[in-house]
Amino acid sequence: MPTSTSKYRYVANDPTKCVGCQFCEYICSYTKTGEFNTYRSRIRTVRAEEILITSITCRTCEDAPCVIACPRDALSQDPVTGIIHVDASRCDGCAWCVEACDFGAISINPETKLAEICDQCEDLEDGPQCVKWCPKEALSLTTPDQRAQRARRKLAVEEVIGPR
Partner 1 sequence: MYGYSGKILHVDLTNRKTHVERKPEEWYKIYIGGVSMASRLCWENIEVGCDPLSPGNPICIANGMFAGTPVPVGGKYGIASKSPLTGFIGDSLSSSWFSVALKRAGWDAIVVHGASNDWVYVFIDDDRVEFRDASHLVGRSAYETEEAIREELNDDQVRSAVIGPAGEKLVRMASVTNDSRQAGRTGHGAVWGSKKLKAISVRGTHGVRVADPEMLLKLCYDITQTAQGPYTQKYRILGTMANVLNLNRLGILPTRNYQQGVFEYAELISGEYLHEHYHVKTIACAQCPIACEQMSRVKDGPYAGAMTGIDYEPLYAVASNCGVGDLRAGIKTVDICDRGGMDAMSTGVTISWAMETFERGIFKKEDFKCSKYPDGFEPYFGNADAVVTLAEMIRDREGIGDLLAEGSKRASARVDAEKGTETWKWAMHIKGLECPGYDARGLKTFALGLAVGTRGACHNRTAAYDPDIQGEVDRFSVDETRGRLAKDTEEYAAVYDTLPLCKFIRRCFTGKADRAGAWPSIAKLINATTGWDFDYDAVDLIGERAHTIKKAFNIREGWTRADDHLPWRWMHEPMKEGASAGHVVTEEELEYMKDLYYEAKGWTKDGLIPKEKLIALGMDDVAEEIGV
Q: Which residues bind partner 1 (CB under 8 A)?
A: 19-23, 26-27, 29-30, 33-40, 50-51, 53, 110, 133, 135-136
Residue 145 C-beta: closest distance to partner 1, Å: 28
CB under 8 Å to 156, separation ≥6 — which residues?
none
CB under 8 Å to 54, separation ≥6 — which residues?
13, 15, 18, 45, 46, 48
Given the complex with partner 1, which of 29 and 120 has the nearer CB atom? 29
Given the complex with partner 1, which of 50 and 125 has the nearer CB atom? 50
CA gap 45, 24 in Å, rounded? 8
Residue 105 C-beta: closest distance to partner 1, Å: 15
Residue 122 C-beta: closest distance to partner 1, Å: 20
CB under 8 Å to 126, separation ≥6 — which residues?
132
Given the complex with partner 1, which of 54 and 60 has the nearer CB atom? 54
Which of 129, 123, 130, 91 shows the shortest CA–CA distance to 108? Answer: 91
Given the complex with partner 1, which of 7 and 136 has the nearer CB atom? 136
Residue 57 C-beta: closest distance to partner 1, Å: 16
Given the complex with partner 1, which of 52 and 156 has the nearer CB atom? 52
Residue 136 C-beta: closest distance to partner 1, Å: 7
